[in-house]
Amino acid sequence: MIVIADTTPLNYLILIEEVEILRRLYARVVIPPAVFEELSRNAAPTPVRAWIAALPSWLEVRSPGSLTLDLPSNLGRGEREAIALAEELQADQLIVDDRPARREAERRGFNVIGTLGVLEDAAHEGYVDLQIAIDRLRKTSFYIAPELLDRLLGSSG
């Protein structure tokens, strides 16, 4: 299974100390250089910079052969590289939270999942307590719509 991740889901999973669920769910995750750079920036939270500096063996940084020229300009560099890499590698899954990037990836036929979907899948596998993970996520800057929160926690109980 080929799984490509964008910056935001990795950032939040690191911050809530649940990033290892990616290894457990997918065994291996690929990120483009732009995502690596975004996670390494001085503006990134200290735990995120520390985690990416000690790159785990299950995370591969790989450059797309070329950027697709028809990607919308409103997408960030990491999102554009992630989608281009997903196309090149014919990825099975793309982990991205940003709505315009999700729409573009879905338009291109990719199976898209976000931070909450990863946590929900991990909870179904018994890797994480969804309520605890969401409580931690809510202490960050991550936005969860109240109706989505109700649906998620209602379905996990």
Domain region containing 115: 3-156
**How do residues 42-91 score in pLDDT, each as one tens digit?**
999 999 999 999 999 999 999 988 766 678 888 989 999 999 999 999 99
Contact between 59 and 32 under an 8 Å Cβ cutoff? The reply is no
Domains in the chain: how many in total?
1
Largest CA distance in the chain: 45
pTM: 0.91
The CATH number assigned to the domain holding 105 equals: 3.40.50.1010
**How do residues 85-108 score in pLDDT, each as one tens digit?**
999 999 999 999 999 999 999 999
